């Protein structure tokens, strides 16, 4: 898509064409058929390549007898994970970071398993990882006070769970969308998956590229110029879809249930910040986020490999 001076109507046409193209890609990537094909490829990889433990790489099986209990134990205690996520958006009058509940810190068995699950086709690990993500969702009802805790079912029949959109390039490379794998099947009571509210922009703003090249991490605190720079760099990575705009306009007739974002790994929080920014541009403001794992300071080297692409 070319750059340069053009009329407003041409911009409008171009924008509509671009939006239509992106939505078509989204539909293909997230369609049941595409997921089935991707899943089948991944399962085949899992079958052909490794019968090695995804954590320690010793035989036999997806997880060996030593690593499986350690991984399961590491995923048992969800916690509030904003600390160290320097790029999380600041919300409300008190400018507090978006509440995030993680199932586990991104390290040791959890990091190895997630890396294998996300980048090496080890989709069999979803048997362990999916219930862990569900635990984070249930824990979020208690750990995010005044937002979705308290009496959410009294006021709201459900919570809308909004996944970070996967990139088509990542899907082509892997053959599956790791987050979609984690969200497949029934969710905990009261949680409704609401995909399709966010879409990736075709090319990330230069700030994102610069951040990735500089190996930006979540080591900094929630103050200072570097932090606000990171927060800005997350902006513009996603755009709200027509469905998000529709949901927002529906909210004039009836209040929209609480929106909670979901991702597999949180590093600096810039992905969640981009999602909040895109939704907020339509008037929808998420109340929190759940992630499977969060990179805690001191940051782990593996975090850069695990960031969503
Ligand atoms: Zn092992």
Q: How far is the CA of 179 from the centre of ligand 1 (A)?
A: 23
Q: How far is the CA of 257 from the centre of ligand 1 (A)?
A: 42
Residue 166, pLDDT above cutoff 60: yes
Q: How far is the CA of 22 from the centre of ligand 1 (A)?
A: 40
Q: How far is the CA of 283 from the centre of ligand 1 (A)?
A: 46
Burial of 190 (0-12, 13-18, 19+ CB in 10 A): middle
**pTM greater than the 0.75 cutoff:** no
188-230 pLDDT per residue, tens: 988 999 999 999 987 655 554 444 444 343 333 333 445 555 5
Q: What mean pLDDT do residues 19-23 have?
A: 48
Q: 108 CB contacts (<8 Å, ≥6 apart)? A: 70, 74
255-283 pLDDT per residue, tens: 888 899 999 999 999 999 999 999 999 99
Q: How far is the CA of 114 from the centre of ligand 1 (A)?
A: 14
């Amino acid at each position: 898509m070319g750059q340069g001076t053009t009329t407003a109507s041409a911009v409008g046409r171009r924008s509509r064409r671009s939006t239509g193209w992106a939505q078509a890609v989204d539909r293909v990537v997230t369609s049941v058929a595409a997921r089935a094909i991707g899943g089948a490829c991944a399962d085949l990889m899992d079958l052909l390549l490794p019968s090695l433990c995804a954590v320690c790489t010793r035989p036999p099986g997806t997880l060996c007898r030593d690593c499986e209990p350690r991984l399961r134990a590491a995923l048992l205690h969800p916690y509030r994970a904003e600390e160290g996520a320097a790029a999380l958006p600041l919300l409300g009058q008190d400018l507090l970071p978006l509440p995030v509940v993680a199932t586990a810190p991104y390290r040791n068995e959890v990091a190895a398993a997630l890396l294998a699950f996300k980048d090496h086709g080890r989709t069999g690990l979803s048997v362990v990882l999916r219930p862990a993500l569900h635990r984070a969702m249930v824990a979020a009802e208690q750990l995010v006070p005044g937002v979705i805790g308290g009496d959410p079912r009294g006021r709201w029949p459900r919570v809308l769970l909004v996944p970070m959109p996967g990139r088509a390039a990542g899907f082509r490379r892997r053959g599956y969308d790791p987050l979609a794998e984690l969200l497949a099947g029934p969710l905990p009571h009261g949680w409704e998956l609401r995909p399709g509210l966010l879409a990736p922009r075709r090319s990330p703003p230069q700030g994102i590229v610069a951040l990735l090249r500089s190996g930006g991490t979540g080591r900094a605190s929630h103050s200072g110029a570097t932090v606000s720079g990171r927060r800005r760099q997350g902006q513009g990575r996603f755009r709200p879809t027509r469905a998000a705009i529709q949901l927002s306009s529906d909210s004039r007739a009836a209040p929209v249930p609480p929106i909670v974002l979901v991702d597999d790994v949180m590093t600096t929080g810039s992905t969640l910040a981009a999602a909040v920014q895109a939704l907020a541009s339509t008037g929808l403001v998420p109340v929190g986020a759940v992630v499977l794992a969060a990179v805690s300071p001191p940051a782990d080297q593996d975090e850069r490999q695990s960031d969503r692409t």
